[in-house]
């Protein structure tokens, strides 16, 4: 089906995709899991955080086509789940923090010790948050796809029909520590890939982030909407793969055998 804003095809959210090779656990909770598609052991692990405006009805399963495509490019890819409880943002943040710490260990031998974190939409927000204050061991870069990067701005514009207020349980001004545009800069490289025609999470969200963090790079894709960035059948997909490959080539991890 078509999303009702513009002509951005959101069929990837419901499209059948292969079951994951592995469902890995990173903790004791029912949602402390990640769908994993296995690639080569000579590339970084790609940990992907899904979007859905942090709402309970959207989970990791809509990224199965994406992680399958990343594995076809040679990467072991893990789509991590996290709790989505309205008004309890710290539950999601804690899950992301733990997942980024544990999954590289749980999947040892399936990657070369390096990690690239990719997040889409609300998952892009979580990826940018983690890059600032809770980077994964072995992190070499973060790729944020159409991220909710300016939480205060998203609140003002009522993106997602008030998604920020629902997620935080209060105003964005009360939690500047969860607003990537207002947080400390990430140590490792950050690339934001954003569709110029995105009217779900507008391009100005990423523009605000790079205005605050000059070392980050914004790659705006003409003629591209919101969901194309997680759709391996879309014309935008090669740009996503390129961003991940650029992070993989950005540096080695000292002391990690095979990380080249």
User: Considering just the CA atoms, what is the radius of gyration of the chain in Å?
Assistant: 17
CATH number, domain of 17, equals: 3.40.50.1820
pLDDT band at 19 (very low <50, low <70, confident <90, very high): very high
Work out the number of other CB atoms within 10 angstroms of the CB of residue 1.
8
Q: Which domain holds residue 25?
A: 11-248
What is the residue-averaged pLDDT of the chain? Answer: 93
In a domain, 3, yes or no: no
Q: pLDDT by residue (tens digit) across 135-146? A: 999 999 999 999
The CA-based angle 91-178-163, given to 5 degrees, is 75
In a domain, 254, yes or no: no
Which residue, chain included where needed, has tokens 């950050």?
A: 190
From residue 127, give the alpha-carbon distance in Å to each of 48, 77, 118, 122. Answer: 9, 15, 7, 9
Task: In whole angstroms, give the CA distance from residue 97 to residue 13.
Answer: 25
Mean pLDDT to the nearest integer, 54-70: 97
Which residue, chain included where needed, has tokens 């997942």?
A: 99
Q: pLDDT by residue (tens digit) across 159-212? A: 999 999 999 999 999 999 999 999 999 999 999 999 999 999 999 999 999 999
pLDDT band at 258 (very low <50, low <70, confident <90, very high): very low
> What is the secondary structure of the chain as a DSSP string?
-B-SSTT-B-GGGT---PPPSEEEESSSSTT-EEEEE---TTS-EEEEE--STT-TT--GGGGHHHHHHHHHTT--EEEE-----TT-HHHHHHHHHHHHHHHHHHTTTSS-S-EEEEEETHHHHHHHHHHHH-PPTTEEEEEEES----HHHHHHHTTTTTHHHHHHTS-GGG-GGG-GGGSPPPSS-EEEEEETT-SSS-THHHHHHHHH-TTSEEEEETT--SGGGG-TTSTTHHHHHHHHHHHHTT---TT-TT--
Note the pTM of the prediction, 2 decimals: 0.94
pLDDT, residue 242, reads 98
In a domain, 256, yes or no: no
In a domain, 260, yes or no: no
Q: What's the structural domain count of the chain?
A: 1
In a domain, 78, yes or no: yes
Are 140 and 44 spatial neighbours (Cβ–Cβ below 8 Å)? yes
In a domain, 62, yes or no: yes
């Amino acid at each position: 089906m078509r999303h009702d804003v513009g002509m951005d095809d959101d069929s990837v959210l419901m499209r059948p995709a292969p079951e994951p090779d592995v469902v890995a656990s990173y903790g004791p909770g029912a949602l402390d899991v990640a769908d994993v598609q296995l690639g080569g052991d000579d590339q970084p692990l790609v940990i992907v955080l899904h979007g859905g405006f942090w709402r309970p009805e959207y989970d990791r399963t809509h990224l199965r086509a994406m992680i399958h495509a990343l594995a076809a490019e040679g990467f072991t890819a893990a789509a991590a789940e996290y709790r989505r409880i309205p008004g309890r943002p710290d539950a999601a943040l804690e899950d992301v923090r733990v997942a980024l710490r544990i999954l590289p260990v749980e999947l040892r031998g399936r990657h070369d010790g390096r990690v690239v974190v990719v997040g889409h939409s609300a998952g892009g927000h979580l990826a940018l948050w983690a890059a600032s204050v809770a980077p994964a061991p072995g992190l070499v870069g973060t790729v944020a796809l159409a991220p909710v990067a300016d939480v205060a701005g998203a609140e003002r514009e009522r993106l997602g029909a008030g998604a920020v207020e629902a997620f935080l349980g209060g105003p964005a001004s009360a939690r500047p520590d969860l607003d990537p545009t207002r947080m400390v800069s990430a140590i490792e490289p950050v690339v934001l890939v954003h569709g110029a025609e995105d009217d779900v999470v507008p391009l100005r969200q990423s523009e605000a982030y790079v205005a605050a963090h000059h070392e980050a790079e914004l790659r705006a894709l003409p003629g591209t909407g919101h969901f194309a960035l997680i759709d391996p059948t879309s014309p935008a997909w090669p740009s996503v793969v390129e961003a991940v490959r650029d992070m993989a080539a950005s540096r080695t991890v000292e002391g990690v055998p095979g990380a080249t």
